[in-house]
Amino acid sequence: MSSSTAQVAAPAWAQLPNLASDKVDTKILFTTDDFFAVAECMLSSKDPVFIPDAFTEFGKLMDGWETRRKRTLGHDWCIMQLGLSGIVKGIAVDTAFFTGNQVPRISVQAARLDTAPTLVRRSQGGTAATTEEIEAAERLGSVDWTEILPRRVLQPGYPETRQHYFDVSSNERWTHLRINLYPDGGIARLRVHGLVVRDWSQVSTTDVQDLVAVENGGRALYHSNSHYGRSSNLINPGRAADMGDGWETARRPDRPAIYTMGHDGHVVMPGSDFAVLKLGHVGVVDSLEIDTNHFKGNFPESCFVEACLMTDSSSGEDAGDALVIGDCERKNEFQRTGTLAANAPAMSVEWKTLLPRTKLRAHEQRVFTVADNTLVNPGAISHIRLNIYPDGGVSRVRALGRIRK
C-alpha cells in the first residue's frame, strides 16, 4: 500500500471489547436528528459500505449516522446506553465515505446511571426530535456529564483519513454516553473500547455463569493467528451469525504434505494455532462448549484446551496477563522457528489440561463436562488457552462454572 493511502495503525486498546456494538444490545435512547441515516447505523459491527446509486426519499443513503444540514441553534447530539458497562480506554471514529459531509468535530461525555432513563425513540429516517422529546432528554442533565473525550477534529472519509483513534484516560465505570456532533454531519462507525466491569459481589459462588463471556468481563488476550476472524469473537453473545463472526486462522504453512495418524489416534501435526481467553472472574469450570457453527470445510481437526491460575499481585492487576502473553509469545516463536532466543526467559506459567485433545466436527456445537468425564477439573482458573490442530475456525467458546472469591 502506498503512503498516500496508508491508514493510521490501530492502538492496543482497539483489541479490547467494544462496549457500544449492535452485538451487545447497545441502545440509542435519543437523537436530535436522524434525517439521512439513523444513529443505530453507527453501531454496526460490520464494516461500512458505499452504494453509489442508493437513494431514499430524503437523499443519498449513507452507511452511518447522518443528520441534516443544521439551520437551527445549537448542535446535534445523542444519548447512548452502552451494551456493556465498563471502563472506556479509547474511542474509534470512522468517517468512511463521508467525504464532504463528515462531522467536523466530536466530543463524548459519560455518566453512570443506576436506573435506565425512559425516552421516546423512533429510529426513523427523515425525522428530528420534537420540542417535547428534546426537553425530556435535557432533563437528564447530560450537558453536565463527565467529558471523557474533549472536542476533537474529524477528517473526511477517504481511505487515508477515515480512521480516528482517541485515547481515554478515565478509570471509572460508565453506563451511558452523550455523543456531541459539532455542528452536524455524518459518521460511519463509532466504537467504544474498554474493560467490561461487572459487580461480582452480588453473585453467589453457587450460581452458574459463563465465566469467559464478554458480558461477564471475559477478554481475548492473545492469538497466534487471526487471518480471517478475531479471537475476541469467540466470547461474543449468542451463536455466530456467519464465519466472519468467529475466530479463523490462515492455513498453517508447516502442515504436513501428507497427513498420517499418530499412536494417540490423532493426526500428526507439527504445531497448532491457539487463542488465550481471560475469565471475567476466577472460577471453577464445570462445562466447556466448543462451537464450530458455520465452519463446514475449514473446522479444526481437533482441539486441546489448557487452563492456568494467575492471581493479581503487587505488580498490578495486569501482571498475570503479561506473564501469560509472554509465555504464549515464546510458544508461538518456538512453533514457528523450532528454537527460542538465547536470552528468552523460562516459561513462567503452569498450564493444566482442561480438555484433552479431542476431535472436532463441522458446523457443530459440542459440550464437554466434568460430570461425564470429558472435561478435567484443574481447580480454580483465570485463563484458558484453546489450541486448534493444525488451523481453522471456531465460532464460540463457553466456560460455564462458579466463581471463587
For 397, the grid coordinates are: 467458546
Cell numbers describing residue 100: 464532504
Encode pLDDT of 82-135 as tens digits: 999 999 999 999 999 999 999 999 999 999 998 889 898 999 999 999 999 999
Chain segment 18-35, per-residue pLDDT in tens:
999 999 999 999 999 999
Q: How confident is the model at residue 336 (pLDDT cuts 50, 70, 90)?
A: confident
Q: What is the pLDDT of residue 2?
A: 38
Give the pLDDT of residue 116: 85
CA distance 392 to 228: 9
**Which pLDDT score, from 0 to 100, does residue 1 have?**
36
Q: What does 201-222 look like in DSSP terms, one character per residue? A: GGS-TTS-EETT-GGGT-EEEE
Q: Look at residue 282 in the predicted model and tell me its pLDDT.
A: 96
Q: What is the pLDDT of residues 266-299, one digit of tens each?
A: 999 999 999 999 999 999 999 999 999 999 999 9
- pLDDT for 347 equals 64
pLDDT band, very low/low/confident/very high, at 74 (cuts 50, 70, 90): very high
- Residue 222 pLDDT > 80, yes or no? yes
Provide the pLDDT for residue 3. Answer: 40
Neighbouring C-beta atoms of residue 60, cutoff 10 Å: 17
Instruction: Specify whether the CB–CB gap between 19 and 86 falls below 8 A.
Output: yes
Closest by CA to 222, choosing from 230, 213, 214, is: 230
pLDDT value of residue 345: 61
pTM of the model: 0.87
Q: What structural domains does the chain harbor?
A: 3-196 (2.60.120.260), 200-403 (2.60.120.260)
Give mean pLDDT, residues 174-203.
96
| Statement: residue 4 has pLDDT above 60 | no
Span of 3-7, 9-13, 105-109, 278-282 with lowest mean pLDDT = 3-7
Residue 5 pLDDT level (bands cut at 50, 70, 90): low
Q: Tell me, what's the pLDDT at 314?
A: 38
pLDDT of amino acid 8: 80
Number of H helices, E strands in the chain: 2, 21
Element (DSSP H or E) covering residue 381 = strand 381-389
Burial of residue 4 (CB within 10 Å: 0-12, 13-18, 19+) is exposed
Mean pLDDT of the chain: 93
Confidence band for 405, pLDDT divided at 50, 70 and 90: confident
**Please, which pLDDT band fits residue 343 given cuts at 50, 70 and 90?**
low
Q: CA 300 to CA 5: how far, in whole Å?
A: 36
pLDDT at 313: 47
